[in-house]
């Protein structure tokens, strides 16, 4: 009986291996079923015989209350990412710098979740998730349900192997088809479903999910006298693990890069999802030489495929009010990684765009990143509809101030006609942090809008008080400790921006980059500007009546003066570094043309002096030219000056003026 029992285990395990790992069935389904039934019967009558590696142990059954923790024998690291071929070349250069003549193994990067498997005397003892890399969860019961993970390996050794658990596209599609038929919401992607399945407390459910595996890492190759990663893969294969047949050796990075195109083309034909390729240094000694950072090995890297289109769920549509009061619908998405960044919203431009694409809330939609910057919604996946999706309704009132919206003349867009709509405040804030003004990195338009709507930033002063809300910010989606600290640093850095940037940022009507500089140059600090009279202001070239009036009005307003007072208190710089305007009766405010060779000074040196005194030097003579400076051998500019009756200064006059300076 015992002999037959052992024989059955051997036959069934072999049949499983041939069918699942090698994809080469050796017996018929009927034969398999009858052998399994025979095995079950023996185990029912003789439970004392049951072996850990009996195929019946894969069926699942135990229901856990929670997962135990397993501390990894060695940390389970992740991989550094590269996104283009030049970054791969840099990886190669870093290796060559260590005087290594690299040989690489290029592997598919399986889009699943990593697992650590421990075997003792050849018997599977435990399976663990990666967790935080140091401590993972004990998923042994569920791992046992995976047919390509041997319960017993071909040598009675102690060994740990690591790899990926994934769900095939075929199984995924089957499960989803079934769910849709039953009126349930389909799963989004194979990885999420695989992750959800492996964390089932009821291993029966995990078993039904028919997960699969590829093993790709042997943490202790030296224990088995293996010299290369490739040998380690071969060794693990000989033990009975499923090794990806697409692993390939290269000793030249350019050949490897060429091969990537081939892998990219093959991707859609695979029965499992891959999200890139992993490049590993083959020689184990070389791996040791390169070493590790805290997070990843320096001897390997992951090339991530550019995600042209990615599927996600359109959770909602949120309307925002833009700079001019224009209403824009935004897609609120289940966060996804597209081309290396996490996307959780995308513009939908206007309601016409939504109707044209027939987007509905609840749809699975495809999105891509156009020009590598702006995520764009491509289309809904009609076949994934369940009938519960909702049409997007255009709003009638401003989401900020509730004013009834109006349509633009073109009838394409809607806008909020309320001039005091807080959306205008948002516009002001966006302007304040923009590159030309205070240049606060990390406070993009969307973030300002979000922070405004969440109440973190209602006015300019709040930006500088954001550091008091760091703990709240860290909790927000898309933010972390690092990005919040970067943001706070960038805000602090902006405090030392010169006066012209602040003037620009305050949003005084008519003050652009150029006038901000002119005013800063003339007044040097904000107090001088606040005290400048209308008459004083209009003496400045480029400042007309309207602008002078705007400036006076702005600084008459108590709120604005208060804002400046508070900004000062917060340590915002109110001075410029631009040298104060030198006034000079000869040059200031005049337009010059220089022609011919001057005896004591080069033309471009004289140009600098004139500009320093706020004169202008141009190339061609026109009726607007005030003075033409004429040296030896003048060109036609001299004749033109005579014709236009323009004042002429000769070499002697220039020498005299230069002496006076």
Which is nearest to 432 in space by CA: 357, 339, 505, 367? 505
Sheet containing 81-82: give its strands across: 81-82, 300-304, 274-281, 104-110, 248-250
Longest dimension (CA), the chain: 123
The whole-angstrom separation of Cα 565 and Cα 460 is 12
The whole-angstrom separation of Cα 521 and Cα 501 is 12
Q: Report angle CA 198, 199, 204 to the nearest 5 degrees.
A: 70
Which is nearest to 137 in space by CA: 153, 113, 169? 113
Q: How far is the CB of 249 from ligand IVH (least distance, A)?
A: 14
| Closest residue by beta carbon to ligand IVH | 114
The whole-angstrom separation of Cα 462 and Cα 216 is 51
Contacts of 220 (CB under 8 A, 6+ apart): 74, 159, 160
Contacts of 511 (CB under 8 A, 6+ apart): 503, 504, 519, 547, 550, 551
Closer Cβ to ligand IVH, 232 or 598, answer by number: 232
DSSP state, residue 440: -
H helix or E strand, kind and range, residue 531 = helix 526-531
The whole-angstrom separation of Cα 530 and Cα 539 is 16
Q: How far is the CB of 294 from ligand IVH (least distance, A)?
A: 13
- State the number of CA atoms in the 13 A half-sphere of 625 facing the CB: 25
What the block records as the tokens of 162 is 């690591």
Closer Cβ to ligand IVH, 278 or 503, answer by number: 278
Which is nearest to 216 in space by CA: 261, 154, 280? 280
- Residues of the shown chain interacting with ligand IVH in the complex, contacts defined by CB under 6 A: 77-79, 107, 109-110, 114, 164, 216-217, 278, 297, 300, 302
Name residue 248's beta-bridge partners. 106
Closer Cβ to ligand IVH, 92 or 363, answer by number: 92
Q: How far is the CB of 170 from ligand IVH (least distance, A)?
A: 19
Closer Cβ to ligand IVH, 165 or 317, answer by number: 165
341 — phi, psi (to 5°)? -130, 155
Q: How far is the CB of 140 from ligand IVH (least distance, A)?
A: 18
Q: Are 423 and 458 in contact (CB under 8 A)?
A: no
Active site residues: 109
**CB atoms < 10 A from the CB of 615, how many?**
19
Contacts of 465 (CB under 8 A, 6+ apart): none
The whole-angstrom separation of Cα 315 and Cα 642 is 74
Whole-number Cα distances in Å, 291 to 48, 76, 109, 287, 298: 48, 14, 21, 6, 6
Closer Cβ to ligand IVH, 5 or 216, answer by number: 216
The whole-angstrom separation of Cα 358 and Cα 22 is 45
């Amino acid at each position: 009986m015992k002999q037959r029992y052992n024989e059955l285990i051997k036959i069934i395990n072999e049949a499983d291996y041939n069918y699942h790992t090698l994809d080469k069935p050796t017996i018929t389904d009927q034969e398999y079923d009858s052998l399994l039934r025979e095995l079950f019967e023996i185990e029912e009558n003789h439970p004392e015989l049951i072996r850990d590696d009996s195929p019946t142990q894969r069926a699942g059954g135990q229901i856990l209350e929670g997962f135990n923790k397993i501390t990894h024998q060695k940390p389970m690291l992740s991989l550094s990412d590269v996104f283009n071929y030049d970054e791969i070349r840099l990886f190669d250069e870093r290796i060559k710098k260590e005087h290594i003549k690299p040989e690489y193994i290029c592997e598919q990067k399986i889009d699943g979740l990593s697992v650590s498997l421990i075997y003792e005397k050849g018997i599977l003892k435990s399976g663990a998730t990666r967790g935080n890399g140091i401590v993972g969860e004990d998923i042994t019961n569920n791992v046992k349900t995976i047919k390509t993970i041997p319960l017993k390996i071909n040598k009675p050794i102690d060994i740990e192997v690591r790899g990926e658990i994934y769900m095939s596209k075929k199984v995924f599609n089957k499960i989803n088809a079934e769910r849709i038929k039953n009126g349930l919401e389909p799963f989004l992607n194979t990885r999420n479903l695989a992750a959800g399945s492996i964390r089932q407390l009821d291993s029966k459910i995990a078993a039904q999910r028919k997960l699969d595996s590829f093993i790709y890492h042997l943490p202790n190759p030296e224990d088995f006298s293996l010299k290369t990663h490739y040998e380690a893969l071969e060794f693990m294969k000989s033990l009975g693990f499923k090794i990806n047949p697409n692993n390939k050796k290269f000793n030249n990075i350019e050949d490897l890069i060429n091969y990537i195109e081939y892998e990219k083309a093959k991707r859609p034909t695979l029965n499992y999802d891959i999200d890139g390729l992993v490049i590993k240094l083959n020689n184990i000694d070389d791996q040791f030489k390169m070493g590790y950072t805290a997070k990843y090995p320096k001897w390997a890297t992951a090339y991530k495929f550019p995600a042209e289109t990615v599927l996600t769920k359109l959770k909602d549509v949120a309307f925002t009010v833009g700079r001019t009061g224009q209403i824009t619908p935004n897609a609120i998405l289940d966060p996804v990684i597209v081309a290396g960044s996490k996307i959780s919203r995308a513009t939908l431009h206007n309601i016409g765009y939504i109707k044209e694409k027939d987007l509905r809330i609840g749809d699975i939609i495809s999105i891509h990143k156009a020009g590598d910057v702006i995520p764009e919604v491509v289309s809904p996946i009609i076949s994934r509809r369940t009938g519960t999706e909702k049409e997007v309704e255009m709003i009638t009132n401003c989401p900020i101030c509730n004013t009834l919206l109006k349509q633009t003349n073109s009838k394409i867009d809607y806008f909020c006609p309320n001039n005091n709509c807080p959306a205008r405040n948002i516009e002001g804030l966006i302007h304040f942090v923009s590159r030309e003004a205070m240049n606060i990195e990390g406070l993009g338009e969307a973030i300002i809008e979000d922070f405004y709507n969440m109440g973190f930033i209602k006015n300019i002063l709040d930006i500088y008080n954001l550091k008091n809300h760091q703990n709240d910010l860290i909790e927000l989606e898309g933010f972390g400790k690092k990005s919040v600290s970067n943001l706070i640093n960038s805000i602090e850095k902006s405090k030392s921006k010169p006066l012209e940037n602040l003037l620009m940022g305050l949003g005084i009507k008519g003050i652009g980059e150029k006038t901000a500089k002119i005013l800063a140059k003339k007044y040097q600090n904000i107090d001088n500007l606040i005290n400048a009279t209308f008459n004083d202001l209009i003496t400045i070239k480029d400042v007309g009546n309207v602008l002078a009036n705007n400036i006076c009005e702005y600084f008459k307003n108590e709120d604005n003066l208060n804002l400046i007072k508070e900004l000062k208190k917060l340590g915002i710089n109110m001075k410029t570094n631009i040298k104060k305007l030198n006034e000079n009766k000869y040059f200031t405010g005049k337009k010059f043309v220089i022609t011919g060779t001057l005896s004591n000074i080069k033309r471009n040196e004289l140009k600098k002096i004139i500009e320093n005194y706020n004169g202008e030097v141009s190339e061609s003579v026109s009726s607007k030219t005030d003075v033409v400076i004429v040296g030896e051998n003048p060109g036609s500019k001299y004749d033109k000056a005579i014709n236009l009756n323009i004042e002429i200064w000769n070499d002697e006059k220039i020498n005299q003026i230069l002496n006076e300076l």
